Structures are given as C-alpha cells and as structure tokens.
Structure 1
Amino acid sequence: MAPVILLASLAMGLVAYLAVGLLTGYLPRVGARVQVPRPGRTQRQTWLLQAGTELSVAQFVVGSLAAGAVTFALVAAITGSPVVAIVPAAALGLLPRAYFGHRRARRLSELQQAWPDGIRHIIGGIQSGMSLNQSIAALATNGPEPLRLAFSRFAVGARMVGVPAALEVVKGQLSDSTSDRVTEVLLLAHERGGRIVTEVLRDLAEATSKDLKTMEEIASDRLEPKINSRAVFALPWFVLVMLCASEGPFRQFYRTAAGVVVILIAAGISLLGLWIVERLSRDPLEERVFGSPGGPR
C-alpha cells in the first residue's frame, strides 16, 4: 500500500504544479520547431501546431487517455471506490488539453502583441533606405522575438519562389487571424509599392494596436470567472478523495448504491456547471478570413 500512496502523492504533486502553472501562466516550456500547415491538415492537428508542439493527434489522444487511466487506478487504489475515481480521472485526462490550450493562447497572444513593433520595424527599415523585401527579411534578425523564427527563411524563399509565395509560407507558419491580416497588407504593399507603403503600414500598426488593446480588456474581464469555475469544480472532489482515503463512514457510504448515486448526480451537476461557465467565459476567436486554403479558420 505504501508504494501506491507514494505514487499517488507524486502524481497529485505533479497535477498541483501543472494546475497552479495553468492558472498563473507559468508553465514549463517545451521547445518546438515551427511547421508549415499542409493542405488537408485537420483542425485538431492545426490546433496542436498553434500550441507549438509536434505531437500528432493520435499521440495527444493516447497521452490524455493514459493520464486519465493512471489517475483512475491511483485514486481507486487510495479510496477503495472506483466510482469516486471517475471524475478525478476525467479531469486529469483533460489536463493535457488545458495545458496545450494555454500554450496555444499564450503563443498566439505573443505573436499578436509582437506585430505592432514588427510593422514599425519594417517602416523604419524602409525610411532608412531599405526595400520592403529587405525590411521584412530583417525581422528574422532584428524583429520581435516571436516573429523571428517564422521569418528566418523568408529571404531565401523570396529569392527562390518570390515574395508572395514566401509570405504565404510565413502566414501558414503563424496561423492566426492577426498575422493573416498583416501579411495580406504586406502583399498589397509589395504589389503597389511607392510612397503609399509607409502610410498603409502606419495605419496597419495603429489599427493592430487598438485591436490588441480591446482583446486584452476582454481577456482580463473573463479571467476571474475561469479561475473561480475551475476552483469550485476541483475542490469538492479533492475533499472527497481525502475523506475516502482512509477507512471510515465516508468510505463505507460511497461504496453503497446510495453513495454511487450521490457521486453520479454530483458529477453531472459539476460537469454541467463547468461547461456552462467555460462557454460563457470563452475568449472570442476571430475567424481567419484570409487563412490559407484548407487551413484552419
């Protein structure tokens, strides 16, 4: 029994670490290479790509099921009641989705926040005598950090397949609506050229900054309900596991048919309430109007 309790303690410690990191925004970073979305890529695979991971959909699903299965076995061994372990196992099975969802949101936010500075960097390059293509290519070395990797091969691509195709590759790598809008304007500036380029880019930088400010205000307003809903969902089940961890009236009751009914009703209410709160506090996602054909929207 001691090894099982030790494993359970380690697992709960890891879960607590990830949960706190998810709520505070300090999660471990896993290095990943940016890929170009291929035609026909599923939305789930693109979702993982936007999270900055190279996991396939199958690997993600298997990992989530494994986390749920391990949690179910440990909690069932600790409490002596498989029914008590159902909700904690389901919650832990969804933890990878929450983790990568947080990484995806943070990565997209970093990209969006970087664009006003990136556009101003392009304007500065043009005013210093560089061409538009040279100014865009300079983002790979002197631009904001979130944009450097995506533009690292732009100069080579522009020489080999042309600027429009190279920008399409960049758009596919970044895979978000703000980047789509900016790359479309850069394509237009490349085609038109002339004095209008800097004016268009200044207007774009100003409009993007206003959009980002609005999105930050919306995200701030929705943060507290998200944290409260997850805490209200998790705490009762944590207390239930602790109550059933040792022999006593609580453990005996939840082994009976009446206890099973109570757990099932409570699980249904908890999941329904969590789903409603998550739906109401979900961040609005702008549709990718200028997304690549076959890409995510």
Structure 2
Amino acid sequence: MGALVGLGVGVGLLLVWSAFALPRPPHAPRGRLGGLQRRLARAGLAHVPPTGLLLTCGLLALVCAVLVQAVSGTATVSLAFGVLAAYLPLAVIDARGRRRQREFAEVWPEAVDNLASAVRAGLSLPEAVVGLAARGPAPLRPAFEEFGLDYQVSGRFSESLDRLKERLADPVGDRVIEGLRIAREVGGGELGHLLRNLSGYLRDEAHTRGELESRQSWAINGARLAVAAPWLVLLFMSLQSEVIHRYASFGGAVVLAVGGAACVVAYRLMMRIGRLPVEQRILS
C-alpha cells in the first residue's frame, strides 16, 4: 500500500514538473502575444517576434508624437497622433495578411491541378507535393521548397505537412493539406478524382469571393476615408498655432477623446456591416 502511495506521489510530482519545465508546442500560441503571433504568421512574417512588433508600434508612436509636438506645441494633439501611429504597424500587418490570403486563394486551384497531373503521370503523392517547389505557382514555391527539405531530412510525410501548415498559415491551405493527408493514409485509386473535384471547388469559391469583395470595396474605402478625413484636417490645423492651442485645454482634450472614440466605433460598425465572413483556420 505504501509503495502505491509513493508511486502516485511520484507520478503527480512528475506531471507538475513537466507542466512547467517541458517546452510547449510552438504552433499553439496563447494570450495576447499569441494573437499577435497568429497575425504575423498570416502575413507571412512568422519569423518576426510579437515583442518586436510591439516595440515597433511604441517607437513609431513616440517619433510621431515628438514630431507633432514640435510642430503644434500641443500635448493633447501629439498624444492623439501618437496613438494613431501606434496602430499603423498593426494595420499594415493585417492588410498584408488579407492580401496574402487573397493571393493564395487564387493560386491554390492551379497547385491542386498540378498535383493531380503529377499523380496521373505516376508520381507518388509526396513526390508530387515536393514537385510544387519547382512547378507550382510562384507565391507557394518558397513554402514547398522548405517542405521538400523537411521531408528529405525527416522522411515523415505527416509531420512535414504539419510544418507546412504552420508556414502557410492559410485556411484554404489547411483544407488542401488535410485532404492530402487523408488521401495519403487511405490510399486507393480515387486520388486523381478527389484532387480534380477539390480544384474545381476551390476555383468556384475564389471566383465567387472575388466578385463579392470587388462589390464590397466601395464600403471599405468609404469607411477609411470618413475616418481619416477629420484627422487630416486636424493635422493641417497643427500648422496654425493660434487655432491648435485651443485643444490644449480640458475641453479640447475631451473633444479629441470623444472624436477618437466616435471614429473607432463608426469604423468598426461600418466594417462589421459590410464585411464578408472570414474563413477561420479550424484545422490548424
């Protein structure tokens, strides 16, 4: 009985130690920094640490605030533009991520067609996937080049696919890769038919989404113009010291705070009303 109690205590202590000492998987980031890491990966900047992005935001905010302070001499106005400048790197990262996903969505059907042709020509599925590094669409080639090196070193197709998903950080790519994994595990003679069906589905989806996004662009551009216009006016007003100094008072600070909050709420509301459903990475 004492031996069993000792064994249980030992196992419990081992589990407690492993929870703190063993490394956590890198593909499951948590918390706010995890959210920034996912945004960076979506933009193709997974090698950039979230702390570096935060430092960039802070440095840009400081530089902008100092410049506006030197021009306007009004602390409240310089603080407002410092906050706007701090958000600029995040906006650039998000825009880059959206552009990258649109680019991937357009070329995935071509990549799947290439896989189907390679399989029909007698290549194995791993060889066909590695071949995309040379014959695939240009935006996807770097990721598949790294996949080829990874698979050549490890020889484990499933684990190499997992790392490929991390590098791509793309919801459409997740579906394609999981389809390849299932096809590899199940096998059979229907692989070519499955790939052709997947290519047709992806091409129809990309075409439909492209049409919707082109019709939606006017709402997005209108929202951005409506939000940017008052701050551009305020920036030009900073050149007139007798006018801009009115914002140095408590009432001026309240006006800036209320105006900033109104811009944020209006922009988020208009973007939410006019946005298309964002595809989530449910298989990551």
TM band (smaller chain):
0.7 to 0.9
The letter for the 2-side match of 1:138 is G
Q: Which segments of 5 or more consecutive residues in structure 1 lack a partner in the other structure?
A: 1-36, 292-297
CA RMSD, Structure 1 to Structure 2 (Å): 2.1
1:203 maps onto 2:191 in alignment: no
Structure 1 distance, partners of 2:126, 2:201, is: 22
Q: Say if 2:65 and 2:79, in contact at 8 Å, map to a contact too.
A: yes
SS in structure 2 of the partner of residue 55 of structure 1? coil
Report how many aligned residue pairs link the two structures. Answer: 254
Q: More displaced, 201-210 or 159-168? A: 159-168
Seq. identity, %:
26
1:254 maps onto 2:247 in alignment: yes
SS in structure 2 of the partner of residue 38 of structure 1? coil
Displacement of 1:98 in angstroms is: 0.8
Deviations 1:209-240 (A, max 9, x none): 12212222332233222222221122222212
Structure 1 distance, partners of 2:256, 2:149, is: 60
1:102 maps onto 2:102 in alignment: no
Q: Please point out which of 66, 69, 81 is paired with 2:62.
A: 69
Displacement of 1:112 in angstroms is: 2.0
Residues 129-208 of structure 1 aligned to structure 2 (within 5 Å): 129-159=122-152, 160-208=154-202
Cα 1:186–1:76 shift into 2, 3 Å: same
Cα 1:258–1:52 shift into 2, 3 Å: same
Q: Say if 1:51 and 1:103, in contact at 8 Å, map to a contact too.
A: yes
Q: TM-score, normalised by structure 2?
A: 0.81
Structure 1 distance, partners of 2:50, 2:141, is: 27
Q: Say if 2:223 and 2:267, in contact at 8 Å, map to a contact too.
A: yes
1:43 maps onto 2:35 in alignment: yes
Partner of 1:22: none
Structure 1 distance, partners of 2:198, 2:205, is: 10
Runs of 4+ in 1 over 4 A off after TM superposition: none
Q: Say if 2:115 and 2:128, in contact at 8 Å, map to a contact too.
A: yes
Cα 1:246–1:188 shift into 2, 3 Å: same
Cα 1:224–1:188 shift into 2, 3 Å: same
Cα 1:129–1:252 shift into 2, 3 Å: closer
The letter for the 2-side match of 1:65 is G
Cα 1:39–1:133 shift into 2, 3 Å: closer
Partner of 1:20: none
Deviations 1:131-151 (A, max 9, x none): 222221110111111221111
Structure 2 distance, partners of 1:212, 1:157, is: 30
Residues 276-291 of structure 1 aligned to structure 2 (within 5 Å): 276-291=269-284
Q: More displaced, 281-290 or 176-185? A: 281-290
Displacement of 1:283 in angstroms is: 4.2
Displacement of 1:173 in angstroms is: 1.6
Q: Which segments of 5 or more consecutive residues in structure 2 lack a partner in the other structure?
A: 1-24
SS in structure 2 of the partner of residue 187 of structure 1? helix
SS in structure 1 of the partner of residue 122 of structure 2? coil
Structure 1 distance, partners of 2:258, 2:38, is: 36
Displacement of 1:182 in angstroms is: 0.6
SS in structure 1 of the partner of residue 111 of structure 2? helix
Cα 1:191–1:238 shift into 2, 3 Å: same
The letter for the 2-side match of 1:66 is L
Displacement of 1:156 in angstroms is: 4.5
Q: Please point out which of 112, 126, 129 is paired with 1:119.
A: 112
SS in structure 2 of the partner of residue 124 of structure 1? helix
Q: Which of the pair has more CA radius of gyration?
A: 2
Q: More displaced, 267-276 or 92-101? A: 267-276
Displacement of 1:201 in angstroms is: 0.5
Cα 1:259–1:133 shift into 2, 3 Å: closer
Structure 1 distance, partners of 2:102, 2:193, is: 26
The letter for the 1-side match of 2:217 is L
Displacement of 1:252 in angstroms is: 4.4
Displacement of 1:260 in angstroms is: 3.4
Q: More displaced, 83-92 or 132-141? A: 83-92
